[in-house]
Amino acid sequence: MNNRKRASGSTVFALVAILAVVVVTIIAAIGVFVSYYNRATVMENAITATYNNNRNIYAKYTQTIMEMSQVPDMMRDDMTKVVTAALSSRYGEDGSKAVFQMIREQNPVVSEKLYLNIQTAIKSGRDEFAINQTRLTDQRNTYNTALGMFFSGTMLRIAGFPKIDLSKYDIVTTTATERVFENKKEEAIILRK
């Protein structure tokens, strides 16, 4: 009888041990699943945030350029008024009637700094946009890698990822660039037409 008690005690202990291993395995599997789910959510949110920031950067810099490019026209119009007023006050409405006039004129000059400032704004805006486009490309690559890996990809597909349409988050490019990559031929950059 003692052997029976010992055998049944061993059986109970073995069953409890097996049950404990199964419970720990299930908890670990749930932990891994939750971890992958959370990681994919973070990656998708980062892609969306970077894409929206790209829109913000692009809007800011294009608006800046459009506003700055109005300044030369305003400056020209203002200078025309100033020069016309100065000449009119010096020589009257009909201008100078002198046959020979030796006057050293000091007329306003359009500053090249204005154009350099516009060039600087264009370059810095393009640079900031390119940096963020690269960040978006890197984030998509990391996410696509996780989706393509056997274990993480399987877990993410079971969890219903991707939840966003990744094609919506392509980088912004130019028509000329697309043509070059389509034709596999680079064209010279034409600065003036």
| pLDDT of res. 193 | 76
CA distance 81 to 13: 101
| pLDDT of res. 13 | 85
CA distance 13 to 108: 100
Q: Residue 175: CB partners within 8 Å, gap ≥ 6? A: none
| pLDDT of res. 159 | 94
Residue length, the chain?
Answer: 193
DSSP H stretches of helix in the chain: 2-91, 113-148, 150-158, 175-183
Q: Which candidate, 39, 51, 59, 43, places its Cα nearest to that of 167?
A: 51
In whole angstroms, what separates CA 20 from the centre of its chain?
Answer: 49
Tens of pLDDT along the chain (193 residues) come to: 566 666 677 888 889 899 999 999 999 999 999 999 999 999 999 999 999 999 999 999 889 888 888 877 777 777 777 777 766 766 666 655 555 555 555 666 667 888 888 889 999 999 999 999 999 999 999 999 999 999 999 999 999 999 999 999 999 988 888 888 899 888 787 877 7
Please tell me whether the overall predicted TM-score, pTM, comes out greater than 0.75 for this model: no
Output b/e per residue, 98-111; b: 16+ Cβ within 10 A: eeeeeeeeeeeeee
| pLDDT of res. 47 | 96
| pLDDT of res. 87 | 66
